[in-house]
Structure formats: C-alpha cells, structure tokens
Amino acid sequence: MFRSRCRSLGIALLLLLLLVVVACGGRPLLPTGDNAPAAAGEVIDSSEPYSDAFVPGQTGNWLFEQDGNGSTAIVNEQLVVTLVSPNTIQYATLGDRTFDDFVLEVETWQRAGAPESSFGVLFRVQEDKQFYRFDITGNGLFMVERRHADGTWTRLVPDWTPTSALNQGLNVANRLKIIAAGPTLTFYANDVLLTQVVDDTLAAGGIALDAGTFGGGDLQVSFDNLTITPGTP
C-alpha cells in the first residue's frame, strides 16, 4: 500500500512537471504600458533592404504583445495594434534586426478610437530601453522625442505640432518616412517634409511599430507595406 501511494505521488509530480514545461515553452509576451520594447537579441545581417507586407508565413520575426489592455497581431495582411484601455501604449518589435543609417517607410491607418490617439515608429531601440519615437495623431499632429533609460522623455520638437500634410480621421492612409543619417534625423508624412532634427545620443538599434491611447481606450491602428533601406539616400 505504501509503494502504491508513492507510485501515485510520483506520477502526479511527473504530470505537474510536464504541465510546467508546456506552459513555459511558448514565447513570453512583452510588457505593456510605460515599459519600452526589448531590443533585438540575436541579430542577423541588416545590410540588406527589408520589406514586409505582413503576409502570414512571409513576415519578419515580430514580437507581439497581448494582455488585458490590448494586443498586437497580424490580421488580414496588416500589423494591427488594438487597445481597450486608456493611457496605454503597445507595440510590435522587429526582433532580429538592428539598423544605424536607413530610410524607413510605412503606411498606417487609424481604424477606430479617439482622434488624439497616437501611432507611429520607434527606432534605434536599445537594450536599456532608450529609443527615438516618431508618432502622429488622428487629428493631424506629430511628435519626435527620445526616451531615456529611466523612463523620462526629451522632446526633439517643441510640442505636438499640427500639419496639413497628415490625412485626418478614420480609415485614411498616411505614409510615414524616416531618414536616419548619423545624428541627422529627417521626418516626412505623405512625401511632405515635417521636420529635421540633430541628436547624436543613439547611433543604432531596433525597430518597432506602436500605438497609444491618451484619455480614451478602444483604439485600433494598422500598418502595412513597411520598407527599410540601409544606408542614406
């Protein structure tokens, strides 16, 4: 009888161990909110041009978020960020590439949510959670800023800046463009120059696509036709 009980206990412990292994076997989800995206770990050669139309099975190694505040995923051949909570930021990180000088272009749409919500590109993402951020809003504003490792921000333009270059409202496309040439960073929307700044803090790093709610939730943003060309034009 004692041996039978020991055998039963051993089987139970083995099953518990298997459950733990299965539960831990998937890719961990990235944090949400004020935490920055993780920079790439094992980096592949980024000297070749990169393009992504977000066709399932043909996309890059994107790291997605999913929790009670929202999710990032590929839906209908677009990268989609969906948020249900206010004052939340989520992003998808291109997990195996870093870039120094490059030309990046991407199309983006706000599908739902308040017009003051923001969305755009994070670049030169570092392991210590520093990065540059180029975001626009649904009501025609843009911002360029740098995040520090301690979570504080430095604005590289004075404030959220209005521009007629941005198409406003839901389900209208805006094409964003970044030229990163050493410390000189140039930003466009729909082929119109928005601003050029000089900042030598971050020389290279990863790429992420982000969206954030400010005040209200229920935001959905999609991205498509991403291209990254290493070097400068």
Q: Is residue 191 part of a domain?
A: yes
Specify the higher pLDDT residue, 3 or 148: 148
**pLDDT for 41-80, tens place per residue?**
455 556 889 999 999 999 999 999 889 999 999 999 999 9
43 contacts: CB under 8 Å, gap ≥ 6: 96, 97, 98
Q: Is residue 11 part of a domain?
A: no
CA distance linking residue 39 with residue 61, whole number of Å? 12
User: What was the pLDDT predicted at 135?
Assistant: 99
Q: Is residue 20 part of a domain?
A: no
User: What was the pLDDT predicted at 39?
Assistant: 54
User: What was the pLDDT predicted at 6?
Assistant: 39
User: What was the pLDDT predicted at 138?
Assistant: 96
Specify the higher pLDDT residue, 26 or 75: 75
Q: Is residue 10 part of a domain?
A: no
Q: Is residue 109 part of a domain?
A: yes
CA distance linking residue 71 with residue 231, whole number of Å? 32
Residue type for 19, please? L
pLDDT higher than 80, residue 31: no
Q: Is residue 21 part of a domain?
A: no
Residue 10 neighbours by CB distance under 10 Å:
10
CATH no. for residue 182? 2.60.120.560
Q: Is residue 93 part of a domain?
A: yes
How far CA 96 is from CA of 39, 93, 102, 158, in Å, comes to: 9, 9, 16, 33
Structure tokens at 179: 């030229």
Q: Which domain holds residue 116?
A: 31-230
- The predicted model gives 146-175 an average pLDDT of 97
**pLDDT for 74-102, tens place per residue?**
999 999 999 999 999 999 999 889 999 99
Count of domains for the chain: 1
